[in-house]
Structure formats: structure tokens, C-alpha cells
Amino acid sequence: MSEWAILGAGALGCVFAGLLRQQGHPVSLLLSERHRGHLHPSLELITLGGHHELIHTRPLFAEQASQLSHLLVTTKAYQVVGALQGLRGLPASCPIILLHNGMGVTDAVRTLFPDNPILVGVTSHGAMKESEWLIRHTGKGETWIGPANDAAHDFQHLCHPLTTAFGHAQWSEDIHALQRQKLAVNAVINPLTARYGVHNGDLLEPRFFEVLEQLTEEVHQVMLRLGETETLELFKRRLHRVMELTATNYSSMHQDLAHGRPTEIDYITGYILGQASRHQLPAPVCQQLYQEIVKRSSDKGRY
């Protein structure tokens, strides 16, 4: 079996490392400089059934990029370009699969690696870090990948090992449409839950009805300009279903803000605002949420 290298040892990356190892795939974790010289312990994965399993991976650093044959990038959106810039020895034959929230990163990656197959994906798996190397798989979901450049069209076969490990991984020639659909959901749930400090399901309470309606309509109007055909009513149903299915979860933006980490606001709400401006659409709720999340992130950074 070919080795899978995972760039981004956060919750999702570690869960995917665990799922791949459970199926016998060799897995390496590309670690940041802060891990150099430290013991690289086994991951402890808490499965969906509540079992604790030790997951053994191979530690790698940027200068070892020439060894990679498959690269799965699970960093935050704002980390993708910086993390990849250090991998100058990456073989041109190595496919790069980008799995991150938001949009606005892919063009920069194509510029950095013009000869590599670039794939993008969306996933609805849930993951949470309980401590540095203790990871909980909180939800099983779908994973879709598709081509972001011409060279990527020959890599549909990667869905097979990912399906075996993840339970579902399917190819889509129109992966950007799936990215937009996930972006639309994230652009509603993430900033609201981060702003008000609530679980995803709490947004269904009557106190959030007005702001939820306004934000949903703003995001939907932008999506229509980007080529989506989903009606507002269908978008609301899809959105509510996600909130119901993830009712007890905290969004990634909520967790980042709560723990004083940078958020992906620029690649989610910021992307929506950029498109709204381009198409001359009003988006006052998006704008207010963006400003408040940015301010709170800045305030936390002062302490």
C-alpha cells in the first residue's frame, strides 16, 4: 500500500490518520517545527463507539517532502499556503488533496505547484482534540473529492482507499459546487455560533429566528450569483438538517475563538462578503458578524 502523508495534525487530520491506519495504510504526519526534537507519541483515537485505540504514524518534516507519494492537507484555510510553501522538494507526481473549510485558497496552491495534480474536497466528518495527542471522532460523514486542475482528472482511483477508510469517498467532476454548498452552510452556522457562544442546534431556538433568517437570505443571494440553483426554501431545509444532525456540536469557528486561535472567518464570511461586493449585493448581517469575530479574535490575541 502507498503511504498517505497528512499535513495538518489537528483534530480532523489525526482522525483521518487513524481511519487510514485501521485499514492497514501506512501514514505519516508532516509536523511543524515546534514538534522537532520532541517525542512523537502514538495518537490515541477515541472511536465513534467510545473505544480508545493507539494509532502509530511516521513523523516527517518539510525537508523530507521528496518522500511523499500522496498528500492530504487538513490544515486550517489560512495555514494551507504557508504550510505548503516549505515543501519545495515535493515530487511533481504527488497528488495534493485540499480539505479545508471556506474558499479562496486553491488558486494560490495551483500557482505554487503548477505540475502537481491538485484535488479539492469537502467532508462532513466530525473531530475534536481533547488534548495534544488525544483525538475524538465525533461524527461520521460523507467525503467528496474532485479535480482542481487538468492533471487531477487521472486520480479518481484515490476514492477507493479513502472509501475503505472513511466509509464514504466519492468523486465529483463539479467539486466546486459542493464546496460552495458547504461554504453556504458554514457561512451561516459558524459565525453565529462563534458570536453567541452556542452549540449548532441552539440556533434553532426562537431567540435566533430573526438573525438566522436574515443571514440565510444574504448568503443565499450570494450563492445564486455564483451559479447555485437551490431555492431559498431548500437551502433552509438543508441548513436546518445540518443544525439538527450536529445539534450538540460546537462549530470549528466557535472552538477556535473560544481557545484563542485564529479563525477561518476570512475564508468563510470574508469570501461571502467579497462576492457580495463584486455583485453589488447588500450583506449587513454578514458584515456585522465579520467585524465582531475579527474584533474578538484581535482582543484575545492581546492577552
Name which of 16, 136, 138 is nearest 74 in CA terms.
16
Average pLDDT by stretches of 10, the chain with 303 residues? 91 96 96 78 92 95 95 96 93 97 95 97 92 91 96 96 96 95 97 97 97 98 95 97 92 93 96 97 98 88 43
Residues 222 and 158 in one domain: no
What's the confidence (pLDDT) of residue 1? 75
pTM: 0.92
Q: Which residue has the cell 481533547?
A: 130
Q: Return d(Cα 273, Cα 277) in angstroms, integer.
A: 6
What's the confidence (pLDDT) of residue 35? 79
Residues 195 and 146 in one domain: no
What's the confidence (pLDDT) of residue 144? 97
Q: Indicate which CATH number applies to the domain containing 240.
A: 1.10.1040.10
Sheet containing 52-55: which strands, arranged edge to edge?
52-55, 43-46, 134-139, 126-131
Residues 137 and 88 in one domain: yes
Please identify, among 124, 154, 172, the residue that sits at the C-terminal boundary of a domain. 172
What's the confidence (pLDDT) of residue 300? 61
Q: How far apart are the first and last CA of the chain?
A: 47
Structural domain range at position 96: 4-172
- Residues 6 or more apart whose Cβ sits within 8 Å of residue 171: 144, 145, 146, 156, 159
What's the confidence (pLDDT) of residue 88? 83
Residues 11 and 139 in one domain: yes
Residue 25 is which amino acid? H
Q: Is 182 one of the annotated active-site residues of the chain?
A: yes
3-state SS class at 170: strand
Q: What element of type H or E holds 44?
A: strand 43-46
What's the confidence (pLDDT) of residue 196? 97
Residues 39 and 167 in one domain: yes
Residues 15 and 129 in one domain: yes
Of 129, 182, 236, 300, the active-site residue reads 182
Residues 150 and 276 in one domain: no
What's the confidence (pLDDT) of residue 303? 35
